[in-house]
Structure formats: structure tokens, C-alpha cells
Amino acid sequence: MVALVTGAADSNGESNRSIPCGASRPMDKRGCRAIRACIGKACSVATEDNLLEVARREFGESSGWVLDVRREAGGFVVTARHSASNGLVIETGTLKADLAVHRLVASIDRREVALANAAPELAHPDTVAGVRTLTTAFDWPTVQVRAVAFLLFGAGVLTAEEAAWLSGFVASDAPMVHTSPI
């Protein structure tokens, strides 16, 4: 289940409360979606809800991403986490709703989202993260990623699905296709 974080400001003026994806909230009398504890700040909650709705649509509703939004003095900070990704942090730099949404959409790394969304269920997330880190740090081409992934598969450190996904999706020149481990 993907959790979205939104809500009333805490004592520091920051906002964070988990709300499961797909959970609907009633509209208040001003037409803003709000949770009972946030009625006094309903319109600011609506802005956060709008950002989360846009982020959920952009990342995919059932994609495995966990999305958080936090209001800070200089704008909103949207954090996206996924077991197959190092994650994304997007700072809007504004509290204006339309501009924040525009900056959020423009700043999403579409390749990273597609890559994580294509990942299999990870049995070895730490090993996969290590291979991804090395791939990025040393700018490994597909042939090197395949060699390492299938060596780790042969040693029983990765599943066939993990090796196939890494070899077909992770390198900077990857074809973004599934590769057979056999």
C-alpha cells in the first residue's frame, strides 16, 4: 500500500500525516478536502492534497512509491521512496499552488520512475541498491551491469528476476527491456 503524507501543520509550521492512497476525505463547507483536525487550515491542506494527487498520478497509483509532502517556509518538499530506487526529493520553492504543481511535474525524473515501476519484487533490496549505486558512480554501460548482475545471480546473491531487471534497466545506456537470465 502506498501512503501519502499530508495534514495540519505541527508546532514548527511543517505538515506531515500519513494517508493511504485512494483514501477519500470529505469536502468541508469551503470545498476543500480536509480531515476533521485540519478544518481550520482546510485550504492549505487542499494545496497539499492537490500536490499529492498530482504526484500519485505521475508516479502511478499502485506503483509501490511512498509519497510524502512537507510544507516549509520556502515551499513544499515532496519526497518519493521506492524499494527499487534511491528515491527522489523535489523542492517546489513556492507555496503558490499552481506554480508548485507545475514545478513538481517538471522536476520528476521520469526515467527513475519508469525504472522503479518496472522492478520485480525485490528479495535482495540491499544488494540491488549496491549494484545501482556502483552503476551510477562508475557510469557502467549495459554490458558491465549484465556481467555483474548475472555473476551475482550465479552466486545465488540475486534472483533471476532481479538480475534480469538490473541488466535491462539500470545502466545509463540500458534498453529498458527485460533480459532473460538464462
Of the pLDDT bands very low, low, confident and very high (cuts 50, 70, 90), residue 179 is low
Question: What is d(CA 128, CA 142) in angstroms, rounded to the nearest whole number?
Answer: 15
Look up residue 90 and give its three cell numbers: 523535489
178, part of any domain: no
Q: What pLDDT is attached to residue 68?
A: 94
* Mean pLDDT to the nearest integer, 80-87: 93
More confident residue, 21 or 108: 108
Percent of the chain residues past pLDDT 70, beyond the cut = 71
Are 44 and 103 found together in one domain? yes
More confident residue, 6 or 70: 70
Give me the pLDDT at residue 102, please.
93
Residue 59 within a domain: yes
The bridge status of strand 66-72 relative to strand 3-5 is: parallel
Regarding whether 125 and 112 lie in a shared domain, the answer is: no
Residue 83: domain span: 3-116
Q: How crowded is residue 108: how many other Cβ atoms within 10 Å of its Cβ?
A: 18
Three-state DSSP at 106 gives helix
78 beta partners: 69, 90
Residue 25: which pLDDT band, with cuts at 50, 70 and 90?
A: very low
Mean pLDDT of 96-105: 93
Distance, in Å, from the CA atom of 150 to the CA atom of 84, rounded to the nearest integer, reads: 18
Compute the mean pLDDT over every residue in the chain, rounded to the nearest whole number: 77
Statement: the pTM of the whole predicted model exceeds 0.85: no
User: Given this model, what pLDDT does residue 113 score?
Assistant: 92
- Within this chain, do residues 82 and 129 fall inside the same structural domain, yes or no? no
- What's the pLDDT score for residue 63? 83
User: What total number of domains does the chain contain?
Assistant: 2
The angle formed by the CA atoms of residues 2, 18 and 4, to the nearest 5 degrees, is 40
**Over the stretch 121-172, which tens digit does the pLDDT of each residue have?**
999 999 999 999 998 899 888 889 999 999 999 999 999 999 999 988 777 7
Flag whether 181 is in a domain: no
Contact (Cβ atoms closer than 8 angstroms) between residue 82 and residue 116: yes
Residues 76 and 143 in one domain: no
